[in-house]
Amino acid sequence: MWYFYAIALLAGIANAIEPGQNATLAKATGQPMLAGMFCFGLSVVCLLAVMLVVRLWGKPAADATSSVPWWAWPGGVLGAVIVLAQLYVSEKLGAAPFLGCIVTAGVIGSIILDHYGLVGFERHRASRWRVVGGVLMIAGVALVALF
């Protein structure tokens, strides 16, 4: 199980680096949307390469796709929102405040999703300590942004 945490930590490091990469590409080319398209295109190529290497290729069963809830299909739209924020906002805020806002909003949003059991998550009550943790994250981002 520890390796899942290691992968999550590596993804967190990548999450800190990616906004700078995308903003730099957007600024250097003068074409933020083109930079975003390049980012998504490269993501598709990487996913295809992984699928080929680990042999995860094949069509899902028709009954499997028909049982997918409607809200699961447009997940890529949210990915585009994140990349657009990286392209247009990250450079103006700085790496730490930008990522702090994203992580904090993600944690607070996750507390709400867990509490109500939304988008496929099991219900986990928004306990006092979870709420306190979210408030402390807001305070932490404020400190990072102000100082």
| Cα–Cα distance measured from residue 23 to residue 6, given in angstroms and rounded to the nearest whole number | 27
Secondary structure percentages of the chain, helix, strand, coil, to 5? 80, 0, 20
What is the per-residue pLDDT for 55?
Answer: 77
* pLDDT given at position 144: 94
Per-residue buried b or exposed e for 110-139, using 16+ beta carbons within 10 Å of the residue's own CB: ebebbbeeeeeeeeeebeeebeeebeebee
Look at residue 59 and tell me whether its pLDDT is greater than 80.
no
Task: Provide the greatest CA pair distance for the chain.
Answer: 54
* Cα–Cα distance for residue pair 125/130, rounded to 1 Å: 9
Q: Is the pLDDT of residue 63 over 90?
A: no
pLDDT tens-digit series, residues 72-89: 888 889 989 999 999 999
What is the reported pLDDT for 65? 80
- Could you tell me the sign of the dihedral formed by the alpha carbons of 16, 21, 22, 24, in that order? positive
With a pLDDT cut of 70, the percent of the chain lying above it is: 99
* Helix residue ranges, H only, 54-126: 62-66, 75-88, 90-93, 95-116
How many residues belong to the chain? 147
pLDDT band at 67 (very low <50, low <70, confident <90, very high): confident
- Average pLDDT on 19-30 reads 93
pTM, two decimal places:
0.80
Q: How far apart are alpha carbons 64 and 60 in whole angstroms?
A: 7
Give the pLDDT confidence of 117-137 residue by residue, as tens digits: 999 999 999 999 999 999 999
Percentage, residues of the chain above pLDDT 90: 74
Task: Show me where the domains of the chain are located.
Answer: 2-146
Q: Compute the mean pLDDT over every residue in the chain, rounded to the nearest whole number.
A: 91
Structure tokens at 88: 């247009």
DSSP state of 20: H
Residue 44 predicted with pLDDT over 80: yes
Nearest to 103 by CA among 52, 50, 140: 140
Cα-only R_g, the chain: 18
